Amino acid sequence: MSRVEEPKEQERPPEFPELETPRLRLRDIRPTDAENFFEFSEDPEMADYFGSSNHYKSEIATRERIKERIEKQIGFKPGRYSWIVESRESEKFLGEVGLHSIDLKNQSGELARGLVAEARGKGFGAEAARAVLDFAFGALGLNRVQAMTRTTNARSQRSLEALGFSREGKLRQYWIVDDEPATVYMYSLLRSEYEKETT
Ligand SMILES: CC(C)(COP(=O)(O)OP(=O)(O)OC[C@H]1O[C@@H](n2cnc3c(N)ncnc32)[C@H](O)[C@@H]1OP(=O)(O)O)[C@@H](O)C(=O)NCCC(=O)NCCS
């Protein structure tokens, strides 16, 4: 079958779902998250995720601008779902997880995760990812979820591999992080692999 086809009318993707796991709630972003983001984006370990250290401070100078950006991000936007990760117990802001670059024709999308420093290394990243993967391979009907991580980001690589992702290759100087080229690994997980792991 030729890959050059007339684009078919796409089904409307599901509305934005709130997701729950034993310890976490994945919810829509709210204007009151502005302060959380302001602090979060100052974390140098978040540079890979945001593309720069002090992302909001350097790119968006005022809290008003953060508020505007959050308002734009609320709910489902074509090609992209973003969830705030919070503790179900304390309702504390723990970070953000997203499913981006959604391509319904090719049934693919990309997982991105960033947790606040105190929440890392406790299995929250994997717990949030599993909720998003259930949604991606289930209601959204994707066949492939990819994830990229800098070659130097050992924790993120370990976490993706523990989730069943395979490293497919190296993308040379694929990102610019803090104005420097950064080489990344491309990882992917297929629906057939995920179903095998979860049944
Ligand atoms: C990458 C990232 C999302 C991974 O999330 P994470 O929660 O740290 O990773 P995991 O969910 O895979 O958890 C793994 C760790 O939790 C531990 N763990 C797993 N389940 C647990 C549980 N129920 N209770 C306590 N600890 C647990 C594991 O032993 C493992 O420890 P280790 O890292 O010392 O080996 C997170 O570290 C992060 O936000 N990093 C900064 C941003 C970033 O690099 N993003 C990705 C690239 S853009």
pLDDT at 3: 52
Mutation pick for ligand 1 pocket among 113, 116, 177 (CB with most ligand atoms within 8 Å): 113
Question: Ligand 1: which atom is nearest the Cα of residue 23?
Answer: 23
**Side-chain-side CA neighbours of residue 18 (13 Å):** 8
pLDDT (tens, 9 = 90+) of the chain, 199 residues, equals 445 544 344 556 788 899 999 999 999 988 788 778 777 877 888 888 888 777 766 655 566 777 777 778 777 777 889 999 999 999 999 999 999 999 999 999 999 999 999 999 999 999 999 999 999 999 999 999 999 999 999 999 999 999 999 999 999 999 999 889 999 999 999 999 999 888 7
Max Cα distance, the chain (Å): 52
Kindly report the protein residue whose alpha carbon is nearest to atom 45 of ligand 1: 114
- The CATH architecture one would assign to domain 19-198 is 3-Layer(aba) Sandwich (3.40)
Question: Model's pTM, two decimal places?
Answer: 0.90
Residue owning tokens 């950006």: 69
pLDDT at 166: 98
CB 183 within 8 A of CB 173: yes
Residue owning tokens 């491309």: 186
Pocket of ligand 1 (CB under 6 A): 45-46, 48-49, 95, 112-115, 120-126, 149, 153, 155-156, 158-159, 162
Instruction: Give the domain ranges of the chain.
Output: 19-198
> How many whole angstroms separate alpha carbon 185 and alpha carbon 37?
26
User: Would you call 124 helix, strand, or coil by DSSP?
Assistant: helix
**Amino acid at the residue 83:** W
CA–centroid distance, residue 129 to ligand 1 (Å) = 11
**Amino acid at the residue 135:** F
> How many whole angstroms separate alpha carbon 27 and alpha carbon 19?
7
**Amino acid at the residue 115:** L
Question: Ligand 1: which atom is nearest the Cα of residue 112?
Answer: 48
CA-CA-CA-CA torsion for 30, 123, 91, 130, nearest 10 degrees?
50
| CA nearest to 46, candidates 96, 81, 93 | 96
pLDDT at 44: 84
- CA torsion sign, 29 to 83 to 156 to 24? positive
Kindly report the protein residue whose alpha carbon is nearest to atom 10 of ligand 1: 123
